[in-house]
Structure 1
């Protein structure tokens, strides 16, 4: 790079706007950065032919060898992602379109289990990571070309919602609840299509949230309880999704492995 040889050329105002990090990262360009976080993943997902996803949420602290129910939650998330990827159409080629591609937050725990399950059957999967104070590292199983990092939670949530054909929520903490209620609100207000929402492990969810209390207090209608259902096994999750409108797209015999776009 040529060293500026005049005060004018050395001035920050002389930099090309698109190559000026101080300008791009300044407060006046927040809207532009928001647009970039929409456009970059959208372009990559289109290149890979991703028509629809199945979003899987759940606790980042769940471990494959964890205590109590954690091992079961991890195993069932992995098994479900493998099953859904085989039956849903994630293994179709980019030119034929990929359907019901597993999409997670890209981190550890249930997210890792779901991305891993897709990888088990040779299917691509998506990881929508977020920059956090304690840096979140992407897990080893999301497809590298479909592994993204966001600064804005709002844009990350939009990418979760805009292609989702179904939502599966495993036990989790504040972040899982945040994403669950985001999609429930979109469904209740008809801002999202009528996608099925499945909560895994009814006992856990009933111990954490008593939705019926909201009905009793007049905060939601009784019909709103139909926005979600429960499941206890990977197979049952799939059955609930199909009953709720998810369409299987099994890979044909001539195309059983993913192709690069």
Structure 2
């Protein structure tokens, strides 16, 4: 086990003194508050945006990278801004497509010991850095009017189910959630249908919160249909 991982585990079992609580835990509140304040102030002005989630490990020559870039490009041509996690892989592809389409390109980066670094396709005034995952997720959910979910790992799953849960529980509006890649997502959807629904843990209607597609044209159709249903208009 790495020394830093060992330290984090042992610290959870350590009885803290009052001074340690004041110095470490209590003062962290101000750092958290500062991240919320900066995020709210800067993102409240970005206009209608679609967030693209996906793996940081996807390489530029991969079909999903190219597809994510094309999806972002097409969305900007229809007036939507793009929000990503600001890092490499699918996130870079999303910002790259937005940059190519001369649309709004937002990056919400997170400080990690590996994988994550800013990509060069984010608008200079729309790049934010976060220490806390939960603050960053609030920004995704609060300022997105649609979610496009490309293939990814644990982080992507976390973001996907956060969006589904908040919509299911009516904590945010019923914005579209589009899973891209039928082959990739089919196993998960099948498990949801045969286990979660059959066990009564969710309803069949909850599956209607998700659309599954393969192409940028299908993504655009889902997003545009949502906007037309509510007689809304993106940035044009």
* Shorter-normalised TM range: 0.7 to 0.9
- Equivalent-residue separation in structure 1 for 2:214 and 2:119 (angstroms): 25
**Comparing 35-44 and 188-197, the one that deviates more:** 35-44
Residue 164 of structure 1 is matched in structure 2 by 144
Matched, 1:80 2:71: yes
Give 5+ residue unaligned stretches, structure 2.
Answer: 1-21
Shift of the alpha carbon at 1:75? 1.1
Which segment drifts farther, 128-137 or 175-184?
A: 128-137
- Residue 218 of structure 2 corresponds to 236
Secondary structure of the corresponding residue to residue 165 of structure 1: coil
Q: Please point out which of 181, 188, 197 is paired with 2:161.
A: 181
Q: Deviations over 1:52-74 (max 9, x none)?
A: 32010011111122xxxxx2211
Give the alignment partner of residue 106 of structure 2, picking from 118, 122, 126: 126
Gaps of 5+ in 1: 1-23, 66-70, 89-99, 252-261
1:222 to 180, 204, 207: 204
For normalisation by structure 1, the TM-score amounts to 0.76
The size of the alignment, in residue pairs, is 212
Residue 60 in 1 paired to residue 40 in 2? no
Q: In structure 2, how many angstroms separate the alpha carbons of the residues matched to 1:136 and 1:113?
A: 14
Q: Which residue of 1 aligns with 2:130?
A: 150
Give me the whole-angstrom Cα distance separating, in 1, the residues matched to 2:234 and 2:172.
Answer: 22
Cα deviation, 1:25-52, whole Å, max 9, x if unaligned, reads 7321222211110111222234xx3123
Q: CA deviation at 1:135?
A: 6.3
The TM-score normalised by the length of structure 2 is 0.84
Q: Give the secondary-structure state (helix, strand or coil) at the position aligned to 2:146.
A: strand
Per-residue Cα deviation, 1:135-180 (whole angstroms, up to 9, x for no partner): 6210111112111110111110000000111000000110100000
Structure of greater relative contact order (alpha carbons < 8 Å, 6+ residues apart): 1
The question of whether the paired residues in 2 share the 8 Å contact of 1:82 and 1:120 is answered with: yes
Over aligned residue pairs, what C-alpha RMSD do you find? 2.0
